[in-house]
Structure 1
Amino acid sequence: MKKSLLLVLLSSLALPVFAADCPALLQGELPKLRSKEVINLCEQYAGKPLLVINTASHCGFTKQFKGLEALHQKYKAQGLEVLGVPSDDFKQEADNAEETATICYGNYGVTFAMTATQVVTGDSAIPLFRELAAQSSAPRWNFYKYVVDRQGKVVESFSSLTEPDDEDLAAAIDKAIASKP
């Protein structure tokens, strides 16, 4: 009975309630790019293999969006989710969400989930990226890639130099897909 009362009280405060089995990596919500909607990370990604990328619209690696979309299309039937997180930490993100959205959706045809611009490095990093850094390493530049298994554990991380069609990245994705929830 006490647990029910606590849940009622928390819901009345409009605080998100996370399932006990939700991994630390997925505890939280992020606003979608150019939307009033939010992505509840636990609801959307718990139990699924995930590829997380910190992105920037005006970076030399921005052309990787095309390959990341190809990965999304190749692996989505096997359950892989892809999450792009724009960041201006390296001073290469567009000044507004509209321009970011045009570059991602219009120029590169991205259909995977994209968030609004976030901080991904240092003490001010969002919880998702603090946990990614704790499990592997913080991004040192744009287009760092993190492959996460079904338990919310980083399988492997990859630098910006790793192209989306890299065979080691594909092997890590295969390992994440094969993992048990």
Structure 2
Amino acid sequence: MRWMFAVIMLLGAAVGSLGPAAPARAERSILAEFRFGSIDGGEMGFADWAGRPVLLANTASLCGYTWQYAQLQALFDAYGPRGLVVVAIPSNSFNQELGSDREVRDFCQLNYGLDLPITTVTPVRGPDAHPFYAWLREETGFVPRWNFNKVLIGRDGSVLGTWGSAERPTGRAITAAVEAALAEAPRS
């Protein structure tokens, strides 16, 4: 009976020692599969940003929070040189986006001078949600409730934080989370 207890304890220790590392690898490999259409043509995705923290915001050009584009750009300008990727994901999920990718691109460049990565117009909720947002819902229960919701993904692919529309991109909550994410050592 003692030998059985010893075997169970050894198996438990072995499984426990594998536990924390396995999910991070699984999250990275799942995230690496998610690709977005780029508003400038082609595709982009987490595989391109491997080892870097990524802040994603679902955006809309005709929303009352559209002023946050300027803060997303400011965040990208301030932290991009240190490794942060900021991605705007225009979405018509709340019926407040312009009619075409070209209109969105022109609006963002003319009104806000954005040079951060911008995806094509992408659904972020419901049955047609982009696979990243479906994964996010399954993993964390987070679903954008409106435009300009933000999600911070860490270097290891873990979800470090989610924020609603009212949270300013350059506010203390997000900048503190970004600084902590950047302070983590990059994986080799």
Deviation at 1:120, TM superposition (A): 0.6
| CA gap 1:59/1:21 in 2 versus in 1, 3 angstroms | closer
**C-alpha distance 98-49 of structure 1, shift in aligned 2 (>3 A):** same
Partner secondary structure for residue 23 of structure 1: helix
> Which residues in structure 2 correspond to 1:26-105 (within 5 Å)?
26-33=32-39, 35-39=40-44, 41-105=45-109
Contact between 1:25 and 1:132, CA under 8 Å: does it hold in 2?
no
TM-fit CA distance, 1:24: 1.6
1:107 to 108, 111, 130: 111
Query: Residue in 1 aligned with 2:29?
Result: 23
1:169 has 2:169 as partner: no
Report Cα offsets for 1:131-181 as digits up to 9, x if no partner: 222333010000001111001111010100001221011111112212343
TM-score (norm 2): 0.80
Shift in alpha-carbon separation, 1:125–1:73, aligned structure 2, 3 A? same
Instruction: Give the aligned residue type for 2:82.
Output: Q
User: Structure 1 residue 38: deviation in Å?
Assistant: 1.2
Give 1 or 2 for the bigger CA radius of gyration. 2
Distance in 1 between residues matched to 2:174 and 2:26, nearest whole Å: 30
Gap change, CA 1:130 and 1:21, over 3 Å in 2: closer
User: 2-side partners of 1:46 and 1:92: how far apart?
Assistant: 31
Equivalent-residue separation in structure 2 for 1:38 and 1:148 (angstroms): 19
Report the structure, 1 or 2, having the larger helix content: 2
User: 2:132 & 2:27 partners in 1: Cα distance?
Assistant: 16
Match of 1:129 in 2: 133
Specify which of 148, 152, 162 is matched with residue 143 of structure 1.
148
Change (3 A) 1:135 1:68: same
Given that residues 31 and 47 in structure 2 are in contact (C-alpha distance below 8 angstroms), is that contact kept between their aligned partners in structure 1? Answer: no
- 1:78-109 deviation digits (Å, cap 9, x = unpaired): 10001111110000000111211112111101
Query: Which one-letter code corresponds to 1:29 in the other structure?
Result: R
Secondary structure, aligned partner of 1:72 = helix
Unmatched tracts of structure 2, length 5 or more: 1-24
Which secondary structure does the structure 1 equivalent of 2:48 belong to? helix
The alignment's TM-score, normalised by the length of structure 1, stands at: 0.83
Q: Give the paired residue count.
A: 161
- Cα distance in 1 between the residues matched to 2:26 and 2:67: 39
Match of 1:4 in 2: none
